[in-house]
Amino acid sequence: MKTMQRHHWTAIGFLFGALILAGIAARDFLRMRTPDLIIPSDGLSRTGLLSEYAPDLAGTNGDTPYYLYDSRNPGPTMLVLGGTHPNEPAGFIATVVMVENLRVAQGRVFVIPQACLSGFSATEPLEGYPERFSVPTSSGERIFRFGSRGANPLDHWPDPLVYLHRPSGQQLSGNETRNLNRSYPGRSDGSIMERVANGIMRLLETERVTLAFDLHEAAPEIPIINAIVVHEKARDLGGMAVLNLEFEGLQYALEISPQNFRGLSHREWGDGHAVLPILMETSNPIQGRLRGPTDVDLILRGVDIRYQTALEVGRMRISYDAEGESLAKRVGRHLAGISAVVSAYNEMYPDSPLMLEGLPAYTELLSQGVGAFLKPPPPVQP
C-alpha cells in the first residue's frame, strides 16, 4: 500500500481550496437565474409564455413571458420587445415601466420585457459588468439583472467559427449565433435564439400585429444612436414620429433598415409580415469602449469622465450629454419614441387608432426618476 507523500497532502489542500472558490462562484452564477420581479398594472388582460406560439421553446431558457393588454375595443395590435440584448438595460426597464403602468383604451398591446431571457442569466466575459442593479422606488429598491448581449453559453455551446444566417446564407462572426437580433426569422429546430426568433415571428403572424418595437441601446461612439430605425414600409410613419419628437425638443435620427443586412428585427419582421417594424437606440456609456469604472452608478446615472473628456476634446463623434446619460433619460426617450410613433400612426389611420394610457412622459421621468413609475417591492416575509 502506497503511503501518502507530502505532495499528495498539498494537492488535497489546493483541490479543497479550488472547490471552495468554485462554490463561491457557483452561488453567484446560480443567483443570476432568479427571475426578475415584474408587477403588472391593473390593465393587464393576461400573461403567458412565448412557447404558446412556438411549442419547441417549452421548457427551455428561451421561453419568455409576454404580457397582453387588451382593451376589447377594436383597434390595431402593438408588440414591444425589451431585453433583446440584456446588457442594454433601458430597453428592458422601459418595457417593465410599460407593464407596470399601461392601460389600453383601444386596440391591444403585447409586451415582452425579456426577449432574450437566456441572456439575463449570464454576464459578458471580460467586460466587468455588474450582475444586477437596483432602482430606488417610493418604498424599497427594485433589483434587476444586467445580462449579456447574447444567450447564455450554457444554452448554446460551442459557438461556431462562422455564423451562417438562414435562410439568407449571410456570414457573421460565430458569437452572433447567440444574438437574437441576428437570428430572425428563425427556425423551429434551430439554435435557441433561432427558436426564440421563430416564436416572435409566429406571435406577429398569429396576433396580426400592426406595429412592433424593438428597444435597444448602444455605445456613445456607435453612429446609430438616439435613432429610430424603420423598415422602408414604415418610412412615413417614422418620419412623422421624428417630427413630432422634434416639437417636444427631442432629436432622433431616422434610419432606414438596410435591405442586405439580414437577421435583424427591423428587416425580417417587415419582410415576413404585414407589421410596421421600428427599432430604437439610446446612448449607453456602460457599453462604450472609452468607459472607466463599470459599475451600477454608470448604469443609473450614465456619467463617465472619459466620455466627458472626449466630448470636450471633440475629436470623435459621440452622442453623450455632458450631464450624463441617465437611465431615466434613456427610458424616457424610448417611451417618448413609442408614444410619438403611436400618435403618428393614429394620424395616418384615424379610423382605427391605438389608444394608450398611463405611460409616464419624458419630462416626468427626468424629474421624478424611473423608480417613481415602478411598483414598490413586496415586503420581505419575516
Partner 1 sequence: MLYWIYVVIAGIVLALVFRELVRERQWRLQLALAIIVIPLLLRILQVK
If the CB atoms of residues 154 and 256 are measured against partner 1, the closer one turns out to be 154
Q: Which residues are paired to 253 by β-bridges?
A: 227
Measured CA to CA, the distance from residue 77 to residue 342 in angstroms comes to 11
Longest dimension (CA), the chain: 90
Q: Which residues are paired to 283 by β-bridges?
A: 218
If the CB atoms of residues 19 and 164 are measured against partner 1, the closer one turns out to be 19
Measured CA to CA, the distance from residue 75 to residue 351 in angstroms comes to 9
The x, y and z cell numbers of residue 182, run together, are 441576428
Q: In this structure, are residues 113 and 96 in contact, taking their beta carbons and an 8 Å threshold? A: yes
Q: Which residues are paired to 70 by β-bridges?
A: 108
Taking the complex as a whole, how short is the minimal distance between the CB of residue 164 and partner 1, in angstroms? 15
Q: In this structure, are residues 326 and 341 in contact, taking their beta carbons and an 8 Å threshold? A: no
If the CB atoms of residues 95 and 191 are measured against partner 1, the closer one turns out to be 191
Q: At a CB cut-off of 8 Å and minimum separation 6, what does 285 contact?
A: 219, 220, 291, 298, 302, 303, 304, 307, 320, 324, 325
Taking the complex as a whole, how short is the minimal distance between the CB of residue 132 and partner 1, in angstroms? 16
Region class of 190: left (phi > 0), else alpha (psi between -120 and 50), else beta: beta
The binding site for partner 1 (CB under 8 A) comprises 7-8, 10-11, 14-15, 17-19, 21-22, 25-26, 29-30, 122, 154, 156-158
Sign of CA dihedral 154, 157, 161, 166: negative
Q: Is 240 helix (H, G, I), strand (E, B) or coil?
A: helix
Taking the complex as a whole, how short is the minimal distance between the CB of residue 5 and partner 1, in angstroms? 8
Taking the complex as a whole, how short is the minimal distance between the CB of residue 29 and partner 1, in angstroms? 5
If the CB atoms of residues 18 and 274 are measured against partner 1, the closer one turns out to be 18
Taking the complex as a whole, how short is the minimal distance between the CB of residue 9 and partner 1, in angstroms? 10
Q: In this structure, are residues 230 and 297 in contact, taking their beta carbons and an 8 Å threshold? A: no
CA R_g for the chain: 22
The x, y and z cell numbers of residue 129, run together, are 459588468
Taking the complex as a whole, how short is the minimal distance between the CB of residue 121 and partner 1, in angstroms? 10
Taking the complex as a whole, how short is the minimal distance between the CB of residue 158 and partner 1, in angstroms? 6
Q: Is 367 helix (H, G, I), strand (E, B) or coil?
A: helix
If the CB atoms of residues 31 and 46 are measured against partner 1, the closer one turns out to be 31
If the CB atoms of residues 61 and 283 are measured against partner 1, the closer one turns out to be 61
Taking the complex as a whole, how short is the minimal distance between the CB of residue 154 and partner 1, in angstroms? 6
Amino acid occupying residue 83: G
If the CB atoms of residues 11 and 162 are measured against partner 1, the closer one turns out to be 11
The x, y and z cell numbers of residue 337, run together, are 419614441
Beta strands in the chain (DSSP E): 46-49, 65-70, 77-81, 103-106, 108-112, 132-137, 140-145, 162-164, 171-173, 211-218, 227-230, 253-256, 276-283, 355-357
Taking the complex as a whole, how short is the minimal distance between the CB of residue 160 and partner 1, in angstroms? 9
If the CB atoms of residues 14 and 293 are measured against partner 1, the closer one turns out to be 14
If the CB atoms of residues 14 and 256 are measured against partner 1, the closer one turns out to be 14
